[in-house]
């Protein structure tokens, strides 16, 4: 096909992701779409993918995306007439130790929370399903019967045919060479066959996605890694419908293929490919076989399936796959270019993801916003540091090496650290800080008491920091603590129309007098919560916006994208200009009064207000707000003065017992107070009314705002889900989120977050109770509740009010 001169949407890349996106754009949206492939379809990494299709992830939305892939592959042949090689063989995941078995029990609970049927099997049951397997070292296995396998090239060709059937045009042997840009948008794609004008571009270029993005000034943080697997000769006695196997403790996987086995693995010492550009002519090409490097997998595979020792190897596949620094794929609109969307970096599960990723990406392209909560794969989870190729390489190799390791709760990455530190880093380290990392920032998670090694020791049960965090928690409740939250993302919006812009973007009323704070959500067109932040009005035409560390790129982009056209505003990221010290606890006022001449009495400085005050000779933005349920202030200090102000607070607070406190205590404190966490408790899938945040929505005002029409339509309808808190008395229970909620023995939802409340001495979880017929408080209160934790039921008590009352520190029911 010759290159057309114009298309509404240009998709770059003819692998499974590009073909799936073009298919869904054409089928679901009747879009005018052209797909460009520099070689021929599947010639990048799709053709040599292993083709395992698993569905369960820790995110409900991503699990839904993968389940959609399976449903699509089941029926695609009937639509297009081209086979996909889909076989629903089911998948066995093997456990050889107690921690892995606990992980699987939690995964099985998650599966049931998400409406999937995962079973836990004994070694004897595994042997009956897979007679050739050695099972003497097994504790057990999980079994997901709806998983399977497929032929990557066949699926892609079938999707391509389907795309053509619905009107998409596919042009092969054409390479993109650049873009013509106007006002930060792509208006024309330049290629080896000429130019094509367009409204939107979708970058599905696989391992080339980074360099294609760079042509438009956007960053796609990928790293090609060499991934090897073998295809064996026929294995005597192997059933053609044998389940796929994942053997994570031996770091290997298996699937049946034409009577033999495909076997590969994820080694702890992976081999990267280039940190430069991937050659344009890398089509249907592989690296040389590397049996020396692969030997570690061969040894483990033979130990698991002894018959392999006498079976020949038909072929070794050693090809590059695109991996990312956190092991999650990349979707969404690039922050640097408003009309380039990305679908890339699939970490060797592009076949499992392909159908669903194309479905949601197509919807995203058409609507301009994600159709589901896709935060864990959103390209805007990255930041400027992800332009550092060496950092991306190091972190990606660590993520690859963790592909099959046990996923301990609260586990931190270690590579590329420290990357960003606050001015207090060395001071806090001297206090025994054990740091975690968030978007590159080193942040104190907890402080090791004297005589305790400042190091995390991971476990599936209570971890080594449990009691130390309890002491920090108690100290904030009873005295005063100081949190270094300098990593908070901070922006300023200024200009004559700043108030008007934020009035449209924010769900709550931010049109308050100067010196006032507003806690607000930012909503999408469906009324879902896209961001959760604080806005301080500094003057009539200047606002200060504070949000979570990890949401820096996302929230800045959301605000910038939704400023109405024609308004005179300037939006600036000032994150590195201010350190943030959160002074919290019943004695916080006494400490603050000792270091400033400003009136910090309740009358002089009420809750929800912002003032500029002087501390240690420095002008500090003081925000009277709390995330812990106690009296407190956020003190936003010029970054260079953070240490001076910290020292002044510590000296003034010494007689009152002030001490630094970490993020794990902060999490426990907020759980007791019932404050929601964006990304878990509140997401783009949830409205403020469902989340119990309707009080923060300005529907009573006659002011239009983004999401208002959706909320107004839903306000008088029965809620079909409602946010609630739960407590569990059993001290041995560990809540981590995604545990199933049972009401009168029937599943009604799952926890979105969980932890331990030290003041209440109870496990605390939050989640949504769901009911198609509608929910009210009477329904919620009338049930008998249990939580399913690692496949075991435990009694639970529901709470519709904050658990912690500072006046009495009591549980409310």
Q: Which of 35, 298, 263, 283 is nearest to 164 (CA)?
A: 35
CB 349 within 8 A of CB 335: no
pLDDT score for 85: 87
With vertex at residue 14, the alpha carbon angle to CA 11 and CA 17, rounded to the nearest 5 degrees, is 75
Residue ranges of domains in the chain: 6-84+150-222+326-381, 91-147+224-323, 490-573+687-714, 578-657
For 6-84+150-222+326-381, CATH number out of 3.30.750.24, 3.40.50.1820, 3.50.50.60, 3.40.50.2300 equals 3.50.50.60
- CATH code assigned to 578-657: 3.30.1360.120
pLDDT score for 348: 86
Long-range pairs of 558-563 with CB within 8 A, sequence gap ≥ 24 = 558/505, 558/522, 558/530, 558/531, 559/491, 559/493, 559/505, 559/522, 561/338, 561/368, 562/504, 562/505, 562/522, 562/706, 563/501, 563/504, 563/505
Beta strands in 578-718 (DSSP E): 578-584, 610-615, 618-623, 632-638, 659-660
pLDDT (average), residues 153-182:
97
Instruction: Cite the DSSP H helix spans in 447-491.
Output: 466-478
CB 742 within 8 A of CB 786: yes
Sign of CA dihedral 289, 294, 299, 300: negative
**CA distances from residue 430 to 197, 200, 434, 581 in whole angstroms, order as listed:** 59, 52, 10, 17
Cross-strand pairs, 708: none
SS3 content of the chain, % helix, strand, coil (to 5): 30, 30, 40
Beta strands in 672-712 (DSSP E): none
Hey, do 490-573+687-714 and 578-657 end up sharing a CATH topology, with the first three levels equal?
A: no
Read off the tokens for 660: 């630094």
DSSP code per residue over 135-175:
-TT-SEEEEETT-EE--HHHHHHHHHHHHHHTT-EEEES--
Instruction: Provide the percentage of residues in the chain whose pLDDT is more than 90.
Output: 92
How many CB atoms lie under 10 A from the CB of residue 695?
9
Segment holding 673, helix H or strand E? helix 663-673
Q: Which fold has domain 91-147+224-323?
A: D-Amino Acid Oxidase; Chain A, domain 2 (3.30.9)
pLDDT score for 405: 96
- How far is Cα 252 from Cα 227, in angstroms, rounded to an integer? 12
Place of tokens 């959500």: 521
How many CB atoms lie under 10 A from the CB of residue 771?
18
How many CB atoms lie under 10 A from the CB of residue 145?
14
SS3 of 330-356: the string is EEEECCCCCCEEEEECCCCCHHHHHHH
Q: Exposure string (b/e) for 52-74, b if CB count within 10 Å is 16 or more?
A: bbbbbbebbbbbbbbbbbbebbe
**CA distances from residue 153 to 53, 88, 249 in whole angstroms, order as listed:** 14, 18, 30
- How far is Cα 220 from Cα 206, in angstroms, rounded to an integer? 10
SS3 of 298-313: the string is HHHHHHHCHHHHHCCE
Read off the tokens for 257: 């293929």
Q: Is 782 helix (H, G, I), strand (E, B) or coil?
A: helix
- How far is Cα 102 from Cα 89, in angstroms, rounded to an integer? 25
pLDDT score for 813: 37
- How far is Cα 339 from Cα 442, in angstroms, rounded to an integer? 33
Confidence of residue 812 (pLDDT cuts 50, 70, 90): very low
Q: Which of 75, 17, 11 is nearest to 46 (CA)?
A: 17
pLDDT (average), residues 23-44:
96
Read off the tokens for 439: 């978007």
Q: Is 779 helix (H, G, I), strand (E, B) or coil?
A: helix
Confidence of residue 521 (pLDDT cuts 50, 70, 90): very high
For 490-573+687-714, CATH number out of 3.30.70.1400, 2.60.40.10, 3.40.640.10, 1.10.10.10 equals 3.30.70.1400
Sign of CA dihedral 775, 776, 781, 783: negative
pLDDT score for 54: 86
Torsion of CA 373, 377, 382, 388, to 10 degrees: 180
Confidence of residue 808 (pLDDT cuts 50, 70, 90): low
- How far is Cα 779 from Cα 800, in angstroms, rounded to an integer? 12
pLDDT digits (tens, 9 = 90+) for 184-202: 999 999 999 999 999 999 9
φ and ψ at residue 515, rounded to 5 degrees: 95, 5
CB 11 within 8 A of CB 25: yes
CB-count burial class (<10 Å; 0-12, 13-18, 19+) for 492: middle
Confidence of residue 512 (pLDDT cuts 50, 70, 90): very high
- How far is Cα 322 from Cα 273, in angstroms, rounded to an integer? 10
Radius of gyration of the CA atoms of the chain, in A = 27
With vertex at residue 290, the alpha carbon angle to CA 288 and CA 294, rounded to the nearest 5 degrees, is 145
Q: Which of 40, 29, 52 is nearest to 144 (CA)?
A: 52
pLDDT (average), residues 284-304:
96
- How far is Cα 731 from Cα 747, in angstroms, rounded to an integer? 23
Cross-strand pairs, 261: 256
pLDDT digits (tens, 9 = 90+) for 454-468: 999 999 999 999 999
- How far is Cα 743 from Cα 769, in angstroms, rounded to an integer? 9
- How far is Cα 664 from Cα 446, in angstroms, rounded to an integer? 6
Torsion of CA 266, 268, 269, 273, to 10 degrees: 40
CA atoms within 13 A of residue 713's CA, in its CB half-sphere: 7
pLDDT score for 811: 47
Q: Exposure string (b/e) for 306-328, b if CB count within 10 Å is 16 or more?
A: ebbeebebeebbbbbbbbbbbbb
φ and ψ at residue 398, rounded to 5 degrees: -65, -45
Bond into 418 cis (ω within 30): yes
pLDDT (average), residues 637-648:
98
Q: Which of 640, 644, 642 is nearest to 652 (CA)?
A: 644
Sign of CA dihedral 233, 239, 245, 250: negative
In this predicted structure, the answer to whether residue 142 has a pLDDT above a threshold of 50 is: yes
In this predicted structure, the answer to whether residue 553 has a pLDDT above a threshold of 50 is: yes
- How far is Cα 510 from Cα 501, in angstroms, rounded to an integer? 10
In this predicted structure, the answer to whether residue 1 has a pLDDT above a threshold of 80 is: no
Cross-strand pairs, 533: 520
- How far is Cα 207 from Cα 346, in angstroms, rounded to an integer? 10
């Amino acid at each position: 096909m010759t290159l057309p001169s114009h298309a509404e949407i240009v998709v770059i890349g003819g692998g499974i992701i590009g073909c799936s996106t073009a298919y869904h754009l054409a089928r679901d949206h009747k879009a005018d779409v052209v797909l460009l492939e520099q070689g021929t379809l599947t010639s990048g990494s799709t053709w040599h993918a292993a083709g395992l299709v698993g569905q369960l992830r820790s995110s409900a939305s991503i699990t839904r995306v993968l389940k959609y892939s399976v449903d699509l592959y089941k029926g695609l042949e009937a639509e297009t007439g081209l086979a996909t090689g889909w076989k629903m063989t089911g998948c066995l995941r093997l456990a050889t130790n107690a921690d892995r078995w606990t992980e699987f029990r939690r995964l099985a609970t998650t599966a049931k929370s998400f409406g999937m049927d995962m079973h836990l099997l004994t070694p004897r049951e595994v042997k009956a399903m897979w007679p050739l397997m050695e099972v003497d070292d097994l504790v057990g296995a999980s079994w997901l019967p709806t998983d399977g396998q497929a032929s990557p090239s066949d699926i892609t060709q079938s999707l391509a045919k389907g795309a053509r059937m619905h009107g998409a045009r596919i042009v092969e042997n054409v390479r993109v060479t650049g873009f013509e840009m106007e006002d930060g948008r792509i208006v024309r794609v330049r290629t080896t066959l000429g130019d094509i004008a367009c409204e939107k571009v979708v970058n599905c270029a696989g391992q080339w996605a980074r360099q294609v993005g760079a042509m438009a000034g956007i960053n796609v943080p990928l790293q090609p890694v060499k991934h090897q697997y073998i295809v064996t000769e026929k294995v005597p006695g192997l059933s053609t419908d044998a389940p796929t196997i994942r053997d994570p403790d031996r770091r290997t996987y298996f699937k049946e293929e034409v009577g033999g086995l495909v076997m590969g693995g994820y080694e702890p010492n992976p081999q990267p490919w280039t940190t430069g550009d991937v050659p344009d002519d890398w089509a249907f090409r592989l690296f040389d076989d590397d049996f020396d490097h692969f030997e570690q997998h061969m040894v483990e595979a033979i130990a698991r399936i002894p018959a392999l020792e006498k079976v020949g190897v038909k072929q070794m596949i050693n090809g590059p796959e695109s991996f990312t620094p956190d092991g999650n794929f990349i979707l969404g609109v690039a922050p640097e270019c408003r009309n380039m969307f990305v679908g890339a970096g699939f970490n060797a599960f592009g076949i499992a993801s392909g159908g669903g990723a194309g479905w949601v990406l197509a919807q995203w392209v058409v609507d301009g916003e994600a159709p589901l909560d896709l935060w864990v794969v959103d390209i805007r989870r990255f930041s400027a540091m992800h332009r550092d190729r060496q950092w991306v390489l190091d972190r990606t190799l660590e993520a690859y090496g963790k592909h099959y390791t046990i996923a301990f709760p609260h586990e931190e990455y270690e590579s590329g650290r420290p990357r960003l530190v606050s001015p207090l880093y060395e001071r806090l380290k001297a206090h025994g800080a054990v740091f975690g990392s968030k978007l590159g920032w080193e942040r104190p998670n907890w402080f090791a008491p004297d005589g305790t090694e400042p190091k995390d020791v991971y476990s599936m049960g209570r971890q080594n920091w449990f009691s130390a965090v309890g002491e920090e928690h108690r100290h904030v409740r009873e005295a005063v603590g100081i949190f270094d939250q300098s990593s908070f993302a901070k922006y300023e919006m200024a200009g004559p129309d700043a108030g008007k812009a934020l009035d449209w973007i924010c769900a709550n009323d931010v049109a308050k007098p100067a010196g006032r704070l507003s806690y607000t959500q930012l909503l999408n067109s469906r009324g879902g919560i896209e961001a959760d932040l604080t806005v301080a009005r500094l003057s009539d035409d200047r606002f200060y916006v504070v949000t979570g560390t990890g949401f820096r790129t996302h929230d800045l982009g959301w605000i910038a994208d939704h400023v109405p056209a024609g308004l005179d505003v300037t939006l600036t990221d000032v994150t590195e200009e201010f350190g943030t010290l959160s002074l919290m606890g019943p004695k916080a006022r006494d400490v603050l009064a000792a270091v400033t001449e400003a009136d910090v009495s309740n009358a002089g400085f009420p809750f929800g207000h912002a003032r500029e005050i002087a501390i240690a000779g420095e002008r500090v933005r003081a925000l009277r707000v709390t995330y812990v349920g106690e009296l407190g202030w956020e003190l936003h200090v010029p970054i260079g003065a953070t240490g001076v102000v910290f020292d002044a607070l510590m000296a003034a607070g010494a007689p009152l017992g002030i001490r630094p406190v970490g993020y794990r205590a902060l999490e426990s404190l907020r759980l007791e107070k019932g404050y929601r966490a964006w990304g878990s408790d509140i997401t783009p899938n949830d409205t403020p009314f469902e989340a119990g945040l309707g009080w923060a929505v300005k529907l009573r005002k006659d002011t239009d705002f983004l999401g208002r029409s959706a909320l107004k339509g839903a306000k008088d309808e029965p809620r079909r889900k409602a946010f609630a808190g739960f407590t569990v008395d059993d001290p041995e229970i560990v809540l981590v989120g995604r545990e199933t909620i049972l009401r009168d023995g029937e599943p009604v939802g799952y926890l979105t977050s969980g932890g331990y409340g030290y003041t209440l001495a109870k496990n605390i979880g939050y989640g949504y109770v769901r009911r198609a017929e509608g929910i009210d408080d009477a329904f919620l209160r009338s049930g008998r509740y249990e939580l399913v934790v690692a496949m075991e039921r435990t009694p639970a008590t529901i709470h519709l009010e904050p658990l912690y009352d500072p006046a009495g520190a009591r549980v409310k029911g």
